[in-house]
Structure 1
Amino acid sequence: MKFGAPAESIELQQMTWPEPGPGQVLVRVSTAGAGYPDAMMAAGHFPLLGEPPFGLGEEAAGEVVAVPPGSRFTVGDQVTGITGFLDGWGGYAEYTYLREESTIRIPARMTLQEAGGFPIAFRTAYAGLIDRAPVNAGQVLLVLGAAGSSGGAAVQLGKALGATVIAVAGSREKLDFCIRHGADHGVNHRSEDLPTRVGELTGGRGADVIFDPVGGGTALAALQAIARDGRLVLIGLASGEPVALDAMDMLMRNYSAVGVLATPKDTAAEAAVWDRLADLTDRGAIRTSVGHVYDFQDVPEMIAGQTAPGAGKSVVRITSA
């Protein structure tokens, strides 16, 4: 592929997959999750990516077909995980390599469609709400872009952690979706005054944690409703630009901002993350909020739509699932 509009830049190629090396698991892909980073990659705006060609799709679920010596997985396991997309192996393919340390066996409660869209969103939400700016039971979590991929995961993880969750989205349809998937309250940032409404919902106190995958003006408005000692969790910039932070405002109102890049620290720590996410899934506390399911031939169209997706996690059906 080349950088540009998905319809012109994405192309189908014949490839071969050598035996997996240490840290890799080769899977036959059933489903793959999609998100805004796919659109950034196609356009050449993803900061961690080199020059094309490369494989698109950060996450996938399917059947293990080959493992290196000493792997904790075996051929035939049904797994979901993060792909080796930074090394050129994306999820929108018949086969792909998953990063073994960021791969789990698919929990019994999880469908293949849910599995395909699980790893990136929930690993990101975990990094933000547990590792970087822990949200505690009884606190207020304000989630921007709450009907989207990482936002939808943050809504559910926040509820599982005991927070009161206020979902922010841009339509009644999306807010209804958020409420159905666990949010306590919804605020339409297009038709309501965001800081005023959050103030009303919190008795004037504001939000303890703001989960921000959106940036721009929406995040700037949300910051007007952050509580004293609050934390802004910087996840992404789906609006096209990061929030403009004001250091003096942070000082005077006593809040902080933390950046989140959900990369493994070490093998043991990463295993603990995935074990906890799998346990939460097994207990029914979290699940992928699947939105539209696309067929493989629709990948360029799907990626183009990730700049303004509908409610829920977009998933691509690669093989029969």
Structure 2
Amino acid sequence: MFSGRAWRVVRFGDPKAAVELQEMTWREPSPGQVLIRTRTAGAGLPDVLMTAGHFPLLGEPPFGLGEEVAGEVVAVPPGSRFAVGDQVAGITAFLEGWGGYAEYAYVREMSAMRIPVGMTDEQAGGFPIGFRTAYAGLVERAPVEAGQTLLVLGAAGSSGATAVQLGKALGATVIAIAGSQEKLNFCTRNGADHGVNYRTDDMTARIAEITEGRGVDLIYDPVGGDTAATALRSIARNGRIAMIGLASGAPVSLDSMDMLLRNYTAVGVLATGDDDAEKEAAVWDHLRGLAERGAITTPVGKVYGFDDVPRMIAEQIAPGAGKTVVRVA
């Protein structure tokens, strides 16, 4: 048994009142899990939704926060593909109430990988969710092919930034959509070929200019709302929109007649992983290989200390560019 501290939601509401640091114990991991001593944990908008009671996959408090972590394996069940001492990054058992803003964390073995050589703790802690989601969207659900044009909404955010990188690694031309010049500069450094400011540019006209009137093959949409609706005007015939999230507060509204007449497809993406352990391990091996070759890397933004978790959650409503990470140890 292992003892330590963990941030947990004890009531729904404002993070500073809803989240408490508690002493916890962690038993030996169950089959399908490993227990790690946490060094870093990735953060994002889901923390806000969970704390407010708006995350559809969780029940009532108390429960832990933090969907992804990196650290050292301290306990494994019999037959695990990992061993004590392995350096691992992966997705936590947050759906079972155990999060990653904690000194120890249960990690789903199917959703984990050994940390690539040269990857920093901050990069490792913020790697799993964004890149597994991008893989689900761009490889599994709405595959983008080399030579196609990929439009990424919220391209400076933790979800969009990983899609920019993976899209480039897959050979796509990437158009990044963001809301400030500072964020567009970040997108360019992150690998985007073109940038459009949805606040100041005529988005439809700029995309038409970039694509020479053809439109985009795939829209990667973690934003939803009016921004995604505007982006749909620029979808090419036989194009796809991959619906990842709703950072705007609402999903994109779809017009079935418009879809019919312009012959495009909408695909929902929830990166829950494959039930086939070998297939899921192959996904993580692919992502790890891309990281080791330098094709993808976590675009780390602001890094918070462990004691700053409540403030960090509150600031995820309007985060800066890149992936927010919490240093636990």
Which position in structure 1 is the counterpart of 2:4? Answer: none
Q: 1:281 aligns with which of 272, 291, 300?
A: 291
Offset of residue 194 of structure 1: 1.0
Amino-acid identity (%): 71
Q: Which amino acid aligns with 1:297?
A: D
Aligned pairs (5 A) from 1:68-107: 68-107=77-116
Instruction: Render the CA deviation track for 1:29-78: whole Å, top value 9, x for unaligned.
Output: 00000011111111111111111100000000001111111111111111
Q: Does 1:6 align with 2:10?
A: no
2-side partners of 1:246 and 1:10: how far apart?
40
Task: Tell me which moved more, 301-310 or 92-101.
Answer: 301-310
User: Structure 2 stretches of 5 or more lacking a match?
Assistant: 1-9
Offset of residue 196 of structure 1: 1.1
Q: Does 1:127 align with 2:140?
A: no
Offset of residue 109 of structure 1: 2.8
Q: 1:246 aligns with which of 226, 235, 255?
A: 255
1-side partners of 2:251 and 2:30: how far apart?
37
The question of whether the paired residues in 2 share the 8 Å contact of 1:109 and 1:284 is answered with: no
Which secondary structure state, in structure 1, belongs to the residue aligned with residue 316 of structure 2? helix
Per the normalisation by structure 2, the TM-score is 0.96
Which position in structure 1 is the counterpart of 2:126? Answer: 117
Q: Does 1:294 align with 2:294?
A: no
Q: Which amino acid aligns with 2:109?
A: E
Which position in structure 1 is the counterpart of 2:279? Answer: 269
1-side partners of 2:273 and 2:212: how far apart?
38
2-side partners of 1:309 and 1:207: how far apart?
27
Per the normalisation by structure 1, the TM-score is 0.99
The question of whether the paired residues in 2 share the 8 Å contact of 1:147 and 1:174 is answered with: yes
2-side partners of 1:144 and 1:257: how far apart?
15
1-side partners of 2:221 and 2:314: how far apart?
22
Q: Which amino acid aligns with 1:93?
A: A
How many correspondences in the alignment? Answer: 319
Q: Which has the higher strand share?
A: 2
Instruction: Render the CA deviation track for 1:147-178: whole Å, top value 9, x for unaligned.
Output: 01110000000000000000000011111001
2-side partners of 1:162 and 1:53: how far apart?
44
Instruction: Render the CA deviation track for 1:72-115: whole Å, top value 9, x for unaligned.
Output: 11111110000000011100000010000101110013111000
Offset of residue 308 of structure 1: 1.1
Aligned pairs (5 A) from 1:1-321: 1-265=10-274, 266-319=276-329
Offset of residue 5 of structure 1: 1.1
1-side partners of 2:81 and 2:194: how far apart?
42
Q: Which amino acid aligns with 1:288?
A: T
Q: Which amino acid aligns with 2:273?
A: P
2-side partners of 1:308 and 1:269: how far apart?
36
Dislocated runs of 4+, deviation >3 Å: none
2-side partners of 1:115 and 1:241: how far apart?
30
Which secondary structure state, in structure 2, belongs to the residue aligned with residue 65 of structure 1? strand
Instruction: Render the CA deviation track for 1:175-194: whole Å, top value 9, x for unaligned.
Output: 10010010000000000011
2-side partners of 1:78 and 1:125: how far apart?
23
Instruction: Render the CA deviation track for 1:224-280: whole Å, top value 9, x for unaligned.
Output: 001110000000000000111110111111111000011122211111110100010
Q: Which amino acid aligns with 1:267?
A: A
Q: Which amino acid aligns with 1:92?
A: Y
